[in-house]
A and B are shown apart, each in its own frame.
Chain A
Amino acid sequence: MAVIAAVPEGRLALWWRLWAPYRGALVLLLLCQVVQALAALTLPTLSARVIDLGILRHDGAYVLRSGGLMLLAALVQILFSVAAAWAGARIAMGFGRDLRSAVFARVQDFSLHEMRRFGTPSLITRSTNDVLQVQSFLVMVLTTITTAPIMGIGGIVMAIRQDAGLSDILVVSVPALAVIVGVLLSAALPLFARMQGQIDRINQIVREQILGLRVIRAFVRDDWEHQRFAGANEALTGTARRVGRIMALNMPLAHLVMHLSTIALVWFAARRIAAGTLEVGALVAFLAYIMQILISVMIASMLIVMAPRALVSAGRIRDVLLSAPGIVEPAAPAALPARPGGGVEIEFRHVGFAYPGAERPVLDDVNFRLEPGKTVAVIGATGSGKTTIVNLIARLFDVTTGAVLINGVDIRTLPLATLWSLIGFVPQESFLFSGTIADTLRYGRAEASDDELWQALEVAQARDFVAALPLGLAAPVAQGGGNFSGGQRQRLAIARALVRRAPLYLFDDSFSALDYATDARLRAALPGHLGAAAVLIVGQRVSSLRHADLILLLDQGRVAAAGSHESLLRDSAAYREIVASQHAEEG
């Protein structure tokens, strides 16, 4: 895995690096194109000779000989064209793959900050659709458009050799074509940028509609949702239509310039033929060359059909690739110091955290220590910053002030992989990946044996329902775990973390979907499995937390009270209130 340089590289440097593996192939491709273009260019000259030398001098043998040469040229042309098509497809598709791979790898390294800034739907579009645009453009450039300058320049050279005087027409028509291309391009570019954004929006809406299917249907908001989609669709269509109209001008205008040039040519040539300063064969050949030149300019102008969109997409990909992840590997990574007595120990030292630009910090001056074999619990109202504590330990975010220490060293000095290898993590939302139950459980430790999986399931109180599935461990899990109930999903997520046998466990409100009986059994089974692991539990229910060695009561990001259940009952009115409310509730 490429470790990301802390200093973002420049735009050109980025593309240059990505392009590096294909430089050789590109040279090969250009060579093939040059050869095939030269072969194509000899044809009009040969045909001019046929007229001037063969027909006008009544030399049938010459006509046939030239015909043979022309055949040879055509043969060379196709052989090299096919080679060029091969190289072009190779380069374009390889480059597309590399781009997708680079985007994926970069997104993997993103922190939650970047994930939120770009948004998942937009990152999905960038990883596939945007790369697709660049790739198709590349195919176009490599297979067709590379021939254009060769044909164009070759055509000009041959045309001037044929007759310098008539070439003056090119001085007018080539710039005219360039201006047309330039104007259309600058008109279309901003529209294409808007269009990719609108595709993001479509992606976002459809994705939301799939995720929120039951809510949408329950509230009968299909019509409203459809309106929402239709709005985004209409906007996209509007932009696409405007872009299409601009693009539609390209070919006809190029055609106009091209044919006007030939008309002008005949006009000037006719007078010179009449004056006897030009041969008829030369005019015919010249017409062919001028067509060649103009067709090549026209092909080049096809760039504008695809270039703007590809440019915009490339920019969007570049934005991802050049966004440095907010959480970075340490420049000089330290090894995790061993703790006397083993295990890992976490310490929060004056920890504060605020979102960039937020007025109020989410966490403010939080201090506590978590030792191996001990449990720290965090309780507090919704939005009091409980989850942030978990996120800071896992370095999903970095502290704004203070430090989180592990075995006495700042976690920011440890390689991320090392830090994460220490953690058994159960998130608030039990997201399961698609695959089988065994895949799910082995998510954090691929080499775990079936026995270990069953053991983890046993502790997580999931053994019974998994065993009852006809396929057992091989039973499929739908994306997100959609084919299991909330409670089942949560238990699978817990088992998944337990399989890791980590020295540090983070349970972020992980028992909320369990009924009390299951919750109680789970908590009874956990200590045996966790052994000397350090455990941090975030939760709502006092009954789940009361046996913790230390309970932190969070209020608006500050530790309002800390201590054991008993001491808090004695000292904290707020804690007593929570206990009372739950007690009243639970009888």
Chain B
Amino acid sequence: MAGRDLSAGSAPLPGPQPLPGPRGGMPGLGAVARARDLKGTLTRLFRLIGAHPVAITATLACTVASVAGSSLVPWQLGRATDYVIGAVAAGVPVELSVLTRRLGLAAGLLLAGVLLNIVQAWLSNAIVQALSRNLRDQAALKLARLPLAWFDRQPHGEVLSRITNDIDNVSQSLQQLLSQLLMSALQLVAVLALMFALSPALAGIAVVSLVLSVLLSRLLAARSRPHFVEQWRRTGTLNADVEEDYSGHTLMKVFGHRERARAVFEDDNEALRASAFKAQFLSGIIQPVMLFVGQLGFVAVVAGGALLILAGGLSIGVLQSFIQYIRQINQPIGQIAGAASVLQSASASAERVFELLDAPEMKPDTAAPAKLAAPQGHVVFDHVTFRYEPGRPLFEDVSLEARPGQTVAVVGPTGAGKTTLVNLLMRFYEIDGGAIRLDGVDTRDLTRADLRRHFGMVLQDSWLFSGTIRENIAYGKDGASEAEILEAARACHVDGFVRKLPEGYDTLVDETGGVLSTGQKQLLTIARAFVARPSVLILDEATSSVDTRTELLVQRAMARLREGRTSFVIAHRLSTIRDADLILYMEDGNILEAGDHAALMARRGRYWQLYQSQFGAPES
């Protein structure tokens, strides 16, 4: 993007190089397989959850109460059984009222537990959804704060994958974790406590098996983690393949590149499958392994319990409760095991999201910004030096002045630094020395937003967003009125073709332009700048795809728009800029010649040569 001119400068000035393609190791994001920091990522994730202290506290309280409620149910059941057995053994008739009371109590506890459980699940749902909304929001805001150079190095599909696939994964995982992990952990604690209350000896057996499962599952989880990291990285790569191939769909077909594109895709697809398989298998056996240990515990409890009863140290009812508990304990253990693998996957994704959120941002705006009340459009470059990369100077001591209302044309071969001039003016990039002043104020003393509000820009690539034609024109100005939109549309010859569309200004367009031709898209973007009514206009090769008849009309409209406005025109057709007040001839980042058309022609220098090559060319 920015700095493109320079990347090809004839001097050794290759500008910001996008380091090897998305498939190699891309440098910006997720490239390097550096040591991943599980603990840091999780801490940060939990801190995000902790940002909802009230909801979290309420969730915790509900969970505790709910677990307590439902944990007591088997205990009550065991008491009921013991009562029956006792009565039978003593040969007394079973009192139904006692039985009813005990079972009724169990039912009451159960009901309360379930209700609280629902409340807890709703609360954690609200937390997770708020959290993922905020993550998406932060990611979107982050994109707005990243320097342009960052995007030059990112495959779009990779960034997209982080914002959709990865955040989606974090959200779904957390949903599972919050409602289950907490619940399971508490169930575990509650059941263990009750087990100890019933029989410390048997509970001891349960604890041993528990510790064993935790150790085993940790081992497996740690082994699965690198594969999860790999899986989500591969997902990003694949998304980048898909995004690029779908974007260049037509070319891929016509250039007979389908088979090769397919081969690259299949390679990445298979790599994704392989890593996903390993991650899934390793984390998938956590649960069976823990269940196995749980079963061992079960066997030990039954056998041990039976021997205890034989020795007279335990009642059958207690053993019944215990067997139920040990079954119950297997469920949370299984869920915690499941959670462990989900956590691996979630943290791998969360890491990729945080990586995006942590990418270095643009320099912040000045703390005490100046204000331009009534901008005149007086632009001064004062001994500006600039380089895209350290050690490779591009602009050395560039000075120029555009007085209010003047039209400044910038010409020169591609790669001369014309686009860079715009980049610096708009503060897409920051200068390294000297100053750029607007009405005497250093542009660095203004906020970027304020500075840019004074500029209207029409770029080489016409960009439309998905929305109506009306919205796309109105884009130039916040709150543009219908009258302003129509005026711009008429002035820029948009009105004519839009009225012929069945839906008129409500016709939906998108990045491809939908029903619009490339030229029509360009006209739309010109109308957009018209609506903005800026004090300085920047036209970057804006009219290259409009047919010459239309262009003439646009030129007229532009001339009207330029009245009283300072304009920078970067055009390859010298005819369009002959009337400019100042023409700058640039090469290799230097202004070699400056003056109006007549003066430059008289000088018989580079501009004259260029002019000759265009209009004195054999066929003209």
Chain B residues lying within 8 Å of A359, measured Cβ to Cβ, are 502
B559 at the interface (CB under 8 A from A): no
Give Cα A179–Cα B118 distance, bound, in whole angstroms.
18
B528 at the interface (CB under 8 A from A): yes
The stretch that binds B, out of A96-104, A150-158, A168-176, is A96-104
A27 at the interface (CB under 8 A from B): no
Write the nearest CB–CB distance from A497 to chain B, whole angstroms: 8
Chain B residues lying within 8 Å of A244, measured Cβ to Cβ, are 122, 125-126, 128-129, 175
Chain A residues lying within 8 Å of B302, measured Cβ to Cβ, are 46-47, 50, 66-67, 70
Chain B residues lying within 8 Å of A67, measured Cβ to Cβ, are 299-300, 302-303
B54 at the interface (CB under 8 A from A): no
Write the nearest CB–CB distance from B405 to chain A, whole angstroms: 21
B265 at the interface (CB under 8 A from A): yes
The stretch that binds A, out of B365-373, B379-387, B452-460, is B452-460
Write the nearest CB–CB distance from A79 to chain B, whole angstroms: 9
Instruction: Determine which of A85, A124, A423, A540 lies in contact with B546 in the assembled complex, contact meaning CB atoms within 8 Å.
Output: A540
B11 near A468: Cβ-Cβ < 8 Å: yes
A567 at the interface (CB under 8 A from B): no
> Nearest CB to that of B255 among chain A residues?
A444
Chain B residues lying within 8 Å of A207, measured Cβ to Cβ, are 156, 160, 243, 511
Instruction: Determine which of A220, A233, A287, A420 lies in contact with B255 in the assembled complex, contact meaning CB atoms within 8 Å.
Output: A420
> Nearest CB to that of B163 among chain A residues?
A206
Interface hits, B288-341 → A, CB 8 Å = 288-289, 291-292, 295-296, 298-300, 302-303, 306-307, 309-310, 316, 319-320, 323-324, 327, 331
Give Cα A135–Cα B165 distance, bound, in whole angstroms.
13
Looking at B168, B310, B414, the one whose CB has the most chain A CB atoms below 10 A away is B414
Interface hits, B500-540 → A, CB 8 Å = 502, 510-512, 514-520, 523, 525, 528, 532, 538
Interface hits, B591-620 → A, CB 8 Å = 610, 613-615, 617-620
Instruction: Determine which of A226, A387, A486, A513 lies in contact with B144 in the assembled complex, contact meaning CB atoms within 8 Å.
Output: A226
Q: A383-B520, A476-B18, A513-B460 are in contact. Are A81 and B288 (CB under 8 A)?
A: yes
Give Cα A211–Cα B464 distance, bound, in whole angstroms.
9
Size class of the contact patch on chain B: 35 or more
Give Cα A128–Cα B16 distance, bound, in whole angstroms.
31
Instruction: Determine which of B99, B118, B169, B544 lies in contact with A513 in the assembled complex, contact meaning CB atoms within 8 Å.
Output: B544
Q: Mark A153-196, 1 if CB is under 8 A from B, else 0.
A: 00000000000000000000000000000000000000000000
> Nearest CB to that of B3 among chain A residues?
A483
Write the nearest CB–CB distance from B461 to chain A, whole angstroms: 7
A478 near B8: Cβ-Cβ < 8 Å: no
B277 near A93: Cβ-Cβ < 8 Å: yes
Q: Mark A49-79, 1 if CB is under 8 A from B, else 0.
A: 0110011001010011011001101110110
Size class of the contact patch on chain A: 35 or more
Q: A383-B516, A444-B256 are in contact. Are A266 and B414 (CB under 8 A)?
A: no
Chain B residues lying within 8 Å of A5, measured Cβ to Cβ, are none
Interface hits, A128-166 → B, CB 8 Å = 128-129, 132, 135-136, 139, 143
Give Cα A224–Cα B453 distance, bound, in whole angstroms.
14
B87 at the interface (CB under 8 A from A): yes
Chain A residues lying within 8 Å of B511, measured Cβ to Cβ, are 120, 207-208, 211
Write the nearest CB–CB distance from B288 to chain A, whole angstroms: 3
The stretch that binds B, out of A6-14, A251-259, A342-350, is A251-259
Write the nearest CB–CB distance from A308 to chain B, whole angstroms: 13
A51 near B316: Cβ-Cβ < 8 Å: yes
Chain B residues lying within 8 Å of A407, measured Cβ to Cβ, are none
Give Cα A188–Cα B179 distance, bound, in whole angstroms.
18
B156 near A211: Cβ-Cβ < 8 Å: yes
A255 near B144: Cβ-Cβ < 8 Å: no
Give Cα A434–Cα B248 distance, bound, in whole angstroms.
11
Across the A-B interface, give the 3 residue pairs with the lowest CB-CB distance, nearest first. Answer: A382-B519, A81-B288, A248-B121
Q: What are 24 A-B residue pairs whose CB atoms fall within 8 Å in the complex?
A: A58-B310, A78-B289, A78-B295, A136-B172, A203-B164, A211-B156, A211-B511, A216-B144, A217-B428, A217-B448, A219-B477, A225-B144, A237-B133, A255-B114, A263-B77, A274-B84, A284-B316, A288-B324, A436-B21, A443-B257, A509-B545, A513-B572, A516-B573, A586-B615
